[in-house]
Structure 1
Amino acid sequence: MKKILLLTLGLVLSSSLYAKVKVYPLQSPVLEEKFQTIIVNRALEKLGYEVEPIQEVAYEVAFQTIGQNAKSKDVYFMADNWDPTQVNMYNSAGGDKKLYRKGVYVPNCAVGYLVDKETADKYNIKYISDLKDPKLAKLFDIDGDGKADLTGASPGWEVVEQINHHIKAYGLKNTIDHKQGEYSAMIANTIARYKSGKPILYWSWTPYWVSGKLVPGKDVVWLQVPFSDNKSGKDTKLANGANFGFEIQTQRIVANKSVEKNYPDIAKLFSIMKLNPNDLSAQSTLLSKGENKDKDINRHVDMWLKANKALFNSWVNEAKKLQ
């Protein structure tokens, strides 16, 4: 009887301890990242933690906030650290000294430049460097200055520097303009332009809902680069010989450093969670069909949890061993 009472008391105290911990999920305004973030939230709740509402902030703000709370008793995390693209943001926020990052949440994410397939096939455009030809570049001119208008990244994203670096490295400064702005708005305009039958040139990534609207190989094609010229100095050529100019990306969970010592169960959870990129692509397709409200995304998460119950429970059960 005494053992049962002690065990019960221990569970109550344990639950009380977790309830006092504040868990702050941070997420960029990129809508697709909410799905991944909510899945992490659900796992944390299964461990007994109360999770605060998701705070949407710029990537840089998320990194700085997490780093500034390196010694906090609360938990701050972001489920979508694009590695290696965001290496500078990671290091600027304190790197491994202030941040906890183990494991890979989403592997094999592609990044690169795309054009509509019709124009690419008609003019034999295969490389971004083909647009050094002013006649080819003019095909993608929107504002009338004779240069190709590349739908690029949002200001503040680290990839902005890499895109600008490519434009210089491949001799495209006189023929390509890197258009920056709020990405979701720009890509919506790009899709509208495609639907009107006009050529398009844009930067994007997978998994992302755009690939459900502009299907690679059917509607659009990836452009290669003539040689590797990455700011990191790393070779971007793939095993099959293709070279899209960017390293293959992974999405990783980043948290404040104190999580590793204070909450080994959370640290373990963050290190072992892994999603299939195909699942993200499927969810992105649902977003592209108008299922993009919070209630829709939570329903998508419910569907995913039902289909992947054993996998999800294995993460939670493994983490619980450290409580």
Structure 2
Amino acid sequence: MLSRRDFLINGSALVATALGAPSVLGASLPGTGITVTPTGTSTPTTRFQSLVVELGLQRLGYTVKDYVPADPAIFHMAIASGDATFSAVEWVPLYDDYYSKVGGDTTCVRMGSLINDCIFGYSIDKKTADKYQITNLAQFKDEKIAKLFNTNGMDRKASLVAGNPGWGAAKMMQHHLELYGLKNSIQLQFGNYDALMADVLTRIKSNQPVFYYSWLPNWISNVLKPGVDVSWLSVPFADPANGKNMSKLPDGRDTGFPVYTVKVLGNKGFIDKNPAAKKLFEVANISTADISAENMLMQQGQNKPVDIRRRAEDWVKAHQSQFDQWIAQAMQAA
């Protein structure tokens, strides 16, 4: 996890990354002579979406430095202070607290809908769900149910794979255990998410119950398909903290989390002076299916930076008309 000091040290050592030359050379490009620093979460699966946006910035003439990974609290501070320029990993409303703590609209700007209809929630394997008719987190108060999902052998609590403790979702999960009276029934299991999910896959292949937090888009949904291999669970009642944010799936299940949108977060000073970049951030959009498919390739071994960059470039080629429209709109806004 990077501290702000580490962020500054790492950022100062970065060099410009050649993602491909702009299609039109010359000072007429709005980004000519301007350097930007992308940042975002350290989760490798979020790199692809940032690269697509970075390719757009380069087409507009901006020089794009290497991506600086950091926990959300750190990269929000970096963008607010101008140590970084933007992040294509701004989960809304999940990151509302981080956004508010760095000054909100006075220091930053949230733009567009880079990824829509992002679902977060709790899943268990469908075999166990069907056998014991488990549909709701409240059922974990039954010690017999909770014990089914215990993996540490030390207590009777259900082990819930929760991922990185620095994630915004970690706060939500801890809040849910308090809200629904489940602290004595469920134990959050923190650590590297991909490593923890590798254990989940091993368990499910051995016909053992699994209980984990996940989201869409995510590679795991390509392996453990909701409704086929696993089932989303409902929370006991609507979380008041979600306010008016929709948290229900089409079938009526309430996952406890709002249905999120991933936006682009930018430094306000930069955005105010760069209408072309702002317009790009506003219009760029990638489907959840495309994100999940790319993440799946990472899990299959194509996870080196060069692999992810190649797929971002391939995505642009496959969506060239859409991408060119983004650039045209950005150029018009300049």
Query: Letter of the aligned partner of 2:80 in structure 1?
Result: G
User: How far off is 1:288 after superposition?
Assistant: 2.3
Matches within 5 A, 1:3-22: 12-14=26-28, 18-22=31-35
The alpha carbon displacement at 1:124 in A equals: 0.8
The whole-number CA distance in structure 2 between the counterparts of 1:197 and 1:29 is 32
Listed as ranges, the matches of 1:16-31 within 5 Å are 18-31=31-44
- Report what 2:206 is aligned to: 196
Residue number among 204, 214, 217 corresponding to 2:227 in the alignment:
217
Matched residue count:
308
TM-score (norm 2): 0.87
**Residue aligning to 1:275:** 286
Deviations 1:259-302 (A, max 9, x none): 23211111111111111111112212222222111121122112
1:57 equivalent among 66, 70, 87 = 70
User: What's 1:169 paired with?
Assistant: 179
CA RMSD across the alignment: 1.8
2:161–2:196 Cα contact (<8 Å) kept: yes
Report the structure number with the largest CA radius of gyration.
1
| Paired residues of 1:162 and 1:231 also in contact (CA < 8 A) | no
- Equivalent-residue separation in structure 2 for 1:56 and 1:25 (angstroms): 9
Q: Does residue 181 of structure 2 align to residue 158 of structure 1?
A: no
- For 2:170 and 2:224, the matched residues in 1 are separated by 22
Confirm whether residue 288 of structure 1 aligns to residue 299 of structure 2.
yes
Q: What is residue 324 of structure 2 aligned with on the other side?
A: 313
User: For residue 137 of structure 2, what is the amino acid of its counterpart?
Assistant: I
Between the aligned partners of 1:149 and 1:183, the Cα distance in structure 2 is: 14
Which one-letter code corresponds to 1:219 in the other structure? Answer: D
Unaligned runs of 5+ in 1: 1-10
3-state SS of paired residue (1:45): helix
**Could you tell me which amino acid in structure 2 is paired with residue 319 of structure 1?**
A
**Structure 1 Cα separation of the partners of residues 237 and 304 of structure 2:** 42
* Deviations 1:216-250, CA, capped at 9 Å, x for gaps: 12221111112101434446334642211111011
Secondary structure of 2:85's counterpart equals strand
Cα-to-partner distance string for 1:1-53 (whole Å, 9 max, x where unaligned):
xxxxxxxxxx84445x8443211010211111111000011000100111101
Q: 1:254 is matched with which residue: 265, 278, 282?
A: 265
What is the DSSP-based 3-state SS (H/G/I as helix, E as strand, rest coil) of the residue aligned with 2:188? strand
Distance between the aligned counterparts of 2:318 and 2:287, measured in 1? Answer: 13
SS at match of 2:333: coil
The unaligned stretches of length 5 or more in structure 2 are: 1-24
SS at match of 2:113: coil
What is the Cα deviation at residue 102 of structure 1?
2.1
Per the alignment, residue 190 of structure 2 pairs with: 180
Q: Distance in 2 between matches of 1:13 and 1:246?
A: 46
Distance in 2, matches of 1:223 and 1:13, equals 55
Partner of 2:88: 79
**Corresponding letter in the other structure for 2:110:** R
Residues of 1 paired with 2:138 and 2:116: CA distance? Answer: 28
Amino acid aligned to 1:209: W
Matched, 1:113 2:126: no
Q: What is the rounded CA distance, in whole Å, between the counterparts of 2:254 and 2:206 in structure 1?
A: 30
Q: 8 Å contact 1:100–1:259 — kept in the other structure?
A: no
Q: Which of 147, 156, 163 matches 1:146? A: 156
Q: What's 1:33 paired with?
A: 46
2:35 maps to amino acid: K
Q: Percent identity over the alignment? A: 36
